[in-house]
Amino acid sequence: MNSHRVYPKRLLKKIQLNLDKPKTVWVVTREIEMPQLVGKRNIAIVMNADTFAQATDIDYFITNISSSIVTPQWIVDTYSQRNWVEVFYREAKGWLGFKEYQVRDKRSLLRHFILVFCAYTFILWHQLTGGLRRRWANKPLNTFTEALEAFRTAMSFRFVDWLNLNRDVFASYKASLGYVWA
């Protein structure tokens, strides 16, 4: 047996990914039992060629999803969507301050996370439904950064507007924290 090919070609399933740029991959799945884990697991090997020797990109996946669901097509479809999770974390950390919290307890940390998730969802929803184009910008908002800037501008305007109408409330709040609003 060729040491570069663990599975015969007949066991590899050719899958066409319909992404921005179509991509073909070869997948083999197996159900296995692993020491110290209860139940069976499904593993998958996804390659960009039909042999290990020719493949330049090889990914290994494991899941505890039932074998009746786990097919080569399911593996490829499911894991091709995980990039959006990574995009969310990059945007949440980079633009919404997800990693920049200064809290001392679990409750405050959870509140921070909830605020970040809500802000992200709100911005994304408005961006996808056109709400930001209609109400908060006079130009198309095509990227998350543009949508975030429109959101920040709108929130800043609303806060300044509220502050002008409620200076006494804001001053009382700051005074309760030991600050003077001058």
Q: How confident is the model at residue 157 (pLDDT cuts 50, 70, 90)?
A: confident
| CA–CA distance, 25 with 16 (Å, rounded to integer) | 7
Q: What pTM did the predictor assign?
A: 0.47
pLDDT of residue 27: 93
| Residue 28, beta-bridge partner list | 45
- Map out the domains of the chain as residue ranges: 9-81, 84-176
**How far are the Cα atoms of 17, 18, 46, 54, 67 from residue 21, in angstroms, in the given order?**
8, 7, 18, 21, 29
- Residue 5's pLDDT is 45
What per-residue confidence (pLDDT) applies to 164? 92
pLDDT at 4 over 50: no
pLDDT of residue 6: 53
Share of the chain above pLDDT 90, in %: 13
Task: Identify the band that residue 165 occupies on the pLDDT scale cut at 50, 70 and 90.
Answer: very high
Determine phi and psi for 155, rounding to 5 degrees.
-65, -40
143 compared with 16, residue with greater pLDDT: 16
Banded model confidence at residue 3, pLDDT cuts 50, 70, 90: very low
pLDDT digit string, tens, across residues 101-132: 777 788 888 888 887 887 777 777 776 776 65
- Which are the contacts of 171, defined by CB distance < 8 A and separation ≥ 6? 181
Confirm if 94 and 120 have CB atoms less than 8 A apart. Answer: no
Q: Is the pLDDT of residue 39 over 50?
A: yes
